[in-house]
A and B are shown apart, each in its own frame.
Chain A
Amino acid sequence: MKSAQRTSRPLALAVAALVGLPLAISGCGSSTAASPSEAVTELSVMDYYNNEPDKSFIGDALTKCGTQLGVTVKRETVPGKSLISKVLQQSSSKTLPDVLMLDNPDLQQIAATGALAPLADFKVSTENFAEGVLSAGTYKDKVYGLAPTVNTIALFYNKDILAKAGVTPPTTWEELKAASAKLTAGDQYGLAFNANPTYEGTWQFLPVMWSNGGDEKKIDTKETEQALQLWTDLVKSGSVSSSALNWTQADVKDQFLTGKAAMMVNGPWQIPALDKQPTLQYGVVKIPVREAGQTSVAPLGGEVWTVPQTGNKARQAKAAEMVACLNSDENQLAMATARNTIPSKTTLSDKFASDNPKLATFTELIKTARARTGQLGEEWPAQATKIYTAIQTSLTGNASPADALKQAQGQ
């Protein structure tokens, strides 16, 4: 009996500790949910800029805004692929950060769950933003996220190769096909794009689809069929390698960089890599349209900053100030210049384009760029899957563009 008593004391201690632990943890938790009157001195932030140099650029902007607002920033960066699962975990355990970055096509998905606060609740200005940028940040008529800088895709071309072949950058589909065919010789393809079975493949197809009047809600239309016919013709004729079916945008960039593709569809985030090779002279034009006179409509890319519903109004208000600060004219210009992206306010376009001639085409495109979720909202992922399935079916020759689109739409 004696021995039992002796051993039970540490046991009791351990039990007390175990019982106490959650109390201690919840104690810490409750301090964050303090009364609104208490001054906010710290904001937690989560984003997916986990690679240099973006990691530092964004980190610097956050720190700068933090100093302005009198808060310290506790930042967490997670890999892009795991951001959404992390956000879902945190929303079920009610531990969302004060400021959350999301990839713009995911915003409506998350806003639909009720996890985000409308920015109007905190009087954050949404003036001067490009229409597409606001539509990407909007769910059911309320703006939930703002992107300081955005991006899109255009046609890069190798100046030397085109000059040698006597080809001028194409502006229409016919010109694109002719130029690509002429630039294809030996090891070199005329054009490289990405048509892989992921949302990236859909994203790269959107410019031709949208510019021709295609509609993502109903893809078995004449307009989308014509666009898919163009992609199919380019691959069938051998102007684009059939490897496009498995390339990522980074692979496409590598093809262009090594001179294996004379032109490519890609975005401004590839510019630092291209500039590392001084011998490479390249230009950027809008993605060609079917007929002269059509407008080239580009898809909008970029990340929006949001204020999750954490339940603490004071902290949320401070977080909204942080979002506003990141979107100030000054910060938009600084981040855009540093990261080769485009400021999302159209009032800044002219100044930015003249200061950064390399990004002029992209800046022009952003004014009319469309958000992927603009029409479909949370239905976008399902429809984007159908679009890349149709692209793959047609490019592999399993079905004609029209049949591929019809099959996919019916799925």
Chain B
Amino acid sequence: MSLTTDLPHSKGQAAGGAVKSHGPGTETPAPRRRTRQRRERIFQWLFLVPAVVYMTLFFGYPVVKNVVMSFQEYTTSTFFTGEAPWVGFTNYVTVLSSSLFSTSLLNTVLFTMGSIVGQFVIGLALAIFFQRKFPLNGILRSLLLLPWLLPLIVSSAVWRWILDKDSGALNRFLGDLGIIDTGIPWLTSTSLALIAVVGVNIWIGIPFNLTILYGGLQEIPDELYEAGSLDGATGWKAFRHITWPMLRPVVSVVLVLGVVYTLKVLDIILGLTNGGPANSTQTIATQSYNLSFHEFKFGEGAALGNVLVIISLVFAVLYLRASRRAVDE
């Protein structure tokens, strides 16, 4: 009983401050009550502490450090001497004015859009397909999760072998079918490499899209389809007027998360082409990695990394708004 009377009170205090909640008519609360309130406050904070500590340590510190680093001349010597001269926006100017930046940015956009469209369309088609009841449905669906379970380094090594020009499995297959005479240089042609890399990334991303969208489809009540079919909405019409509107919140979550995951993809590209040939698969992520860990220009690498963070942040905000709307609905 005391708990229920207490709670709204403390809530009011938190929101409006002590003066407002203690109107002129109310008596000053007994000291016992005040200590209890204070203790409750402390406990509320205590529950927050682990999360706050965790966030500061593992999210706050690296982000702040990365931002600071991008304004410094941070080199290998910095690690030993601790000296990192402040250089203002020099790193940003160097990175953004480099001739490689526009290439990387364009590749990042193409890679992300291509991957997302491919993953989503195939993932959705498969999700709808698995809605039907047929034998081996469960087994097939779990087999489709395999790409998700493999370490990315393994996937990229295997795909690198499959896509090899001379002895790759894909070219052998196409050759045996008589479709091609000479091997297609999937990974070594400047016009094909990005397409090949996007293809591999689609293969990796399908399970994620399939799983989430399948879950979303399961949530749609059967009655809607029954009612719809009475009104003549079947097949495409049912999809257009029932499935799609009901699935919309899930779709926006899948897309936005997909974009954020895809923007930062690094290992697949490094494993398949290392950004080549002639930078045709170089993205902002791979370029930032190269700057920091191969050329030891940690400041410039951090600056480019921050550019990527800002792009991701835009989509993260979109995600938050989308998910808030989903909750409101």
| A residues apposed to B, CB below 8 Å | 84-85, 88-89, 91-92, 109-110, 112-115, 187, 189, 196-199, 241-246, 260, 378, 381-382, 385, 389, 392-393, 395-396, 398, 407, 411
Contacts and interface: CB of A to CB of B under 8 A. Distances in A.
Given A113-B79, A392-B279, A396-B190, A85 B274 contact: no
A382 B294 CA distance: 9
Contacts of B166: 187, 189, 241, 243, 260
The secondary-structure label for the interface of chain A is helix
Contacts, number: 96
Given A245-B276, A398-B190, A411-B99, 18 more contacts: A114-B77, A114-B80, A115-B80, A196-B276, A197-B273, A197-B274, A197-B279, A242-B185, A242-B188, A243-B188, A245-B277, A246-B274, A382-B295, A385-B295, A392-B276, A392-B277, A396-B188, A411-B98
B295 A91 contact: no
A398 B80 contact: no
Given A109-B76, A187-B166, A411-B98, A389 B294 contact: no
B79 A246 contact: no
A385 B300 CA distance: 15
Contact of B278 (A112, A260, A396): A396
Interface of B: 75-82, 98-100, 160, 164-167, 185, 187-190, 273-280, 290, 293-297
17 contacts: A88-B76, A91-B80, A113-B78, A189-B166, A196-B276, A197-B277, A198-B294, A242-B165, A242-B185, A243-B166, A243-B188, A245-B187, A246-B276, A381-B294, A392-B276, A392-B277, A396-B189
Contacts of A197: 273-279
B276 A242 contact: no
Contact of A92 (B79, B185, B188): B79
A241 B165 contact: yes
A246 B277 contact: yes
Nearest to B282: A197
B69 to A, nearest CB: 13
Nearest to B82: A92
A395 B160 CA distance: 20
Contact of B76 (A110, A198, A389, A398): A110
- Report, nearest first, the 6 A-B pairs whose CB atoms are least far apart: A197-B276, A113-B77, A113-B80, A392-B278, A245-B188, A88-B79
Contacts of A196: 274, 276
A91 B79 contact: yes
B82 to A, nearest CB: 7
A198 B274 contact: yes
Given A112-B77, A114-B81, A242 B189 contact: yes
A381 B295 contact: yes
Contacts of A245: 187-188, 276-277
Contacts of B277: 197, 245-246, 392, 395-396
Contacts of B185: 242-243
A85 B167 contact: no
Contact of A260 (B167, B189, B190): B167
Most buried by B among A110, A241, A260: A241
Contacts of B189: 242, 396
Nearest to B187: A246
A206 B130 CA distance: 56
Contacts of B76: 88, 109-110, 112-113, 378
Contacts of A187: 166
Given A92-B80, A245-B188, A411-B99, A109 B279 contact: no
Contacts of A396: 188-190, 277-278, 280
Nearest to B160: A246
A93 B274 CA distance: 31
B279 to A, nearest CB: 7
A3 to B, nearest CB: 14
Nearest to B292: A85
A242 B273 CA distance: 13
Nearest to A407: B99
A209 B296 CA distance: 25
Most buried by B among A92, A241, A243, A260: A243
A243 B164 contact: yes
B113 to A, nearest CB: 23
B199 to A, nearest CB: 16
Contacts of B275: 197
A396 B275 CA distance: 14
Nearest to B188: A245
Contacts of B279: 197, 389, 392
Nearest to B168: A243
B184 to A, nearest CB: 11
B308 to A, nearest CB: 20
Contacts of A92: 79-80, 82
Contacts of A243: 164-166, 185, 187-188
A287 B294 CA distance: 28
A114 B279 CA distance: 34
A189 to B, nearest CB: 8
A85 B79 CA distance: 10
A242 B164 CA distance: 10
Contacts of B78: 113
A398 B278 contact: yes
A398 B189 CA distance: 10
Contacts of A381: 294-296
Most buried by A among B79, B189, B277: B277
A392 B279 CA distance: 8
Contacts of B290: 385
B81 A246 contact: no
Contacts of A407: 99
B79 A393 contact: no
Contacts of B80: 91-92, 113-115
Most buried by A among B76, B189, B275, B295: B76
A244 B188 CA distance: 8
Contacts of B79: 88-89, 91-92, 113
A115 B76 CA distance: 10
Nearest to B291: A385
B157 to A, nearest CB: 11
